[in-house]
């Protein structure tokens, strides 16, 4: 199996694993590899199921615990992911990845102090762990503790890091402390050690521009490009500076150069499209080029679909979203947008049923927009009790979005709660600064409620 995987023959490897598990359902090695395939496919439920089977027979399997933490993270089960990582760290405090991945998970959930605690514990065990030290600097920056962050960044430099990471982190700290000249010097040291460091280059350019030294940034980028002509980052950065200065043709030349070097560089297409803020046709053609060169690129697909939506080319937007979902069934944004278009721009029962089937995955979502789509799908299919249930939660989570209040009002009205419907419609128009799908119905409904109230 390992040989097949190394050769890139993953289909054959999957078949071998499936055959092994048919004969020996509790084969730990096969289950681990199968879970890894499931993780790669974003089938986190299958990955977790296989890994739990492994851990029942091998509770101290570090490989299983690491992949379990990653699978729970992918599935959005943060607490279960934390539990898996902490079990792994308890087994092996020196594990190469567990502490940093746990700290990253905690930080993304806003638990910065807990992330700091995890990283400091790791550094007590392995004080020369550059990744943990770098992550600690980031955690301290998020906490606004710039002096402590500088101390840790200089400690990282003392580890004689050959990658330029220490200098880069020091530059970030110094920039946060508004010591731009020192930050610029640190970024240049990082790039001297590692000319491939795109983040350091981006931070250097940002610091120079912030310091009103755009010409110096351009000079640095042009020299860097001459030394490293195959790098994409300096071309993108130079294009951005030129675009900011209104030099569209010169900026376009840089972005096209990136595309010529790497046709799947989605950022280049997005940057190119940004040069045409008032020309939707030009933006659409650029994104169509990008999608044609990269049919499975989700970012470019979403950008193209969004342009079609803005131009009310709804059928084309729907087609793009359907392709994106075929590429990746876990693309919640594409699923949500497709369902919303079916609900707002189609009027047949089959479309409403399809939208509901798509949106049911959002039953446990915390995102107001997705809960709104689910609630509106229930409304369109005549289930007003469930419509109100989800639309109330959505509106509570995004109280300043007029569309959500309109949806809730219509659900209340269908449930014969005219008073609440009127209240929500009035709130809709208090908030509305532009048109939205259904605004005419909302206006007519509010007027009708008002006329009925006068008659009563």
Selection from 175, 93, 104 nearest residue 134 by Cα: 104
Cα 453 from Cα 444, distance rounded (Å): 14
Cα 317 from Cα 413, distance rounded (Å): 31
Mean pLDDT, the chain, integer? 94
Domains of the chain, first to last: 1-92 (1.25.40.10), 174-250 (1.25.40), 361-456 (1.25.40.10)
Cβ atoms 46, 52 nearer than 8 A: no
User: If pLDDT is split at 50, 70 and 90, which confidence band does 232 have?
Assistant: very high
User: If pLDDT is split at 50, 70 and 90, which confidence band does 340 have?
Assistant: very high
Q: Residue 14's pLDDT is what?
A: 81
User: If pLDDT is split at 50, 70 and 90, which confidence band does 25 have?
Assistant: confident
Within 8 A by CB and 6+ apart from 329, the residues are: none
Q: Residue 390's pLDDT is what?
A: 98
Q: Residue 20's pLDDT is what?
A: 87
Token representation of residue 366: 């915390």
User: If pLDDT is split at 50, 70 and 90, which confidence band does 1 have?
Assistant: low
Selection from 73, 75, 50, 226 nearest residue 98 by Cα: 73
Measured CA to CA in angstroms, residue 375 lies from 61, 109, 406, 442, 445 at distances of 43, 27, 12, 17, 19
Cα 297 from Cα 316, distance rounded (Å): 17
User: If pLDDT is split at 50, 70 and 90, which confidence band does 13 have?
Assistant: confident
Task: Write the pLDDT tens digit of every residue in 65-116.
Answer: 999 999 999 998 999 999 999 999 999 999 989 999 999 999 999 999 999 9
Is a pLDDT exceeding 70 seen at residue 371?
yes
Q: Residue 450's pLDDT is what?
A: 87
Percent of the chain with pLDDT over 70: 98
Selection from 433, 438, 410, 446 nearest residue 344 by Cα: 438
User: Span 169-177, mean pLDDT?
Assistant: 96
User: If pLDDT is split at 50, 70 and 90, which confidence band does 424 have?
Assistant: very high
User: If pLDDT is split at 50, 70 and 90, which confidence band does 56 have?
Assistant: very high
Cα 161 from Cα 132, distance rounded (Å): 13
Task: Write the pLDDT tens digit of every residue in 254-309.
Answer: 999 999 999 999 999 999 999 999 999 999 999 999 999 999 999 999 999 999 99
């Amino acid at each position: 199996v390992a040989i097949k995987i190394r050769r890139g023959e993953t289909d054959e490897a999957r078949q071998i694993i499936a055959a092994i598990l048919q004969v020996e359902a509790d084969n730990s090695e096969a289950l681990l590899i199968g879970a890894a395939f499931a993780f790669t496919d974003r089938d986190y439920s299958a990955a977790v199921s296989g890994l739990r089977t492994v851990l029942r027979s091998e509770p101290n399997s570090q490989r299983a615990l690491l992949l379990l933490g990653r699978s729970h993270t992918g599935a959005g089960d943060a607490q279960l992911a934390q539990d898996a990582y902490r079990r792994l760290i308890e087994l092996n405090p020196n594990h190469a990845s567990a502490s940093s991945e746990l700290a990253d998970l905690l930080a993304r959930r806003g638990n910065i102090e807990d992330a700091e605690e995890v990283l400091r514990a790791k550094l007590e065990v392995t004080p020369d762990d550059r990744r943990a030290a770098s992550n600690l600097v980031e955690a301290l920056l998020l906490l606004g503790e710039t002096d402590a962050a500088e101390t840790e960044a200089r400690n990282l430099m003392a580890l004689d890091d050959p990658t330029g990471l220490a200098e880069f982190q020091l530059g970030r700290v110094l920039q946060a402390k508004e010591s731009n000249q020192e930050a610029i010097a640190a970024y240049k040291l990082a790039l001297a050690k590692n000319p491939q460091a795109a983040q350091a280059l981006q931070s250097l350019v940002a610091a120079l521009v912030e310091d009103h030294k755009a010409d110096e940034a351009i000079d640095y980028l042009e020299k860097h490009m001459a030394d490293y002509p195959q790098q994409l980052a300096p071309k993108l950065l130079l294009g951005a500076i030129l675009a900011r200065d209104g030099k569209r043709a010169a900026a376009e030349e840089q972005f096209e150069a990136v595309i010529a070097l790497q046709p799947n560089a989605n950022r280049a297409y997005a940057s190119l499209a940004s040069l045409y803020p008032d020309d939707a046709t030009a933006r659409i053609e650029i994104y169509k080029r990008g999608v044609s060169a990269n049919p499975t690129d989700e970012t470019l697909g979403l950008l193209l679909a969004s342009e079609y939506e803005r131009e009310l080319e709804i059928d084309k937007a729907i087609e793009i979203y359907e392709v994106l979902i075929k590429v990746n069934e876990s693309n919640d944004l594409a699923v949500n947008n497709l369902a919303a278009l079916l609900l707002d721009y189609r009027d047949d029962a089959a479309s409403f049923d399809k939208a509901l089937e798509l949106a049911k995955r959002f039953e446990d979502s915390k995102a107001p927009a997705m809960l709104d789509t689910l609630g509106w799908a229930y409304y369109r299919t005549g289930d007003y009790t469930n419509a109100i249930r989800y639309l109330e939660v959505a509106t509570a989570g995004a109280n300043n979005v007029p569309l959500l209040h309109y949806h809730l009002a219509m659900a209340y009205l269908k449930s014969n709660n005219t008073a609440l419907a009127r209240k929500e419609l009035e709130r809709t128009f208090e908030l509305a600064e532009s048109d939205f799908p259904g605004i005419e119905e909302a206006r007519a409904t509010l007027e009708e409620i008002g006329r009925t109230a006068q008659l009563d």
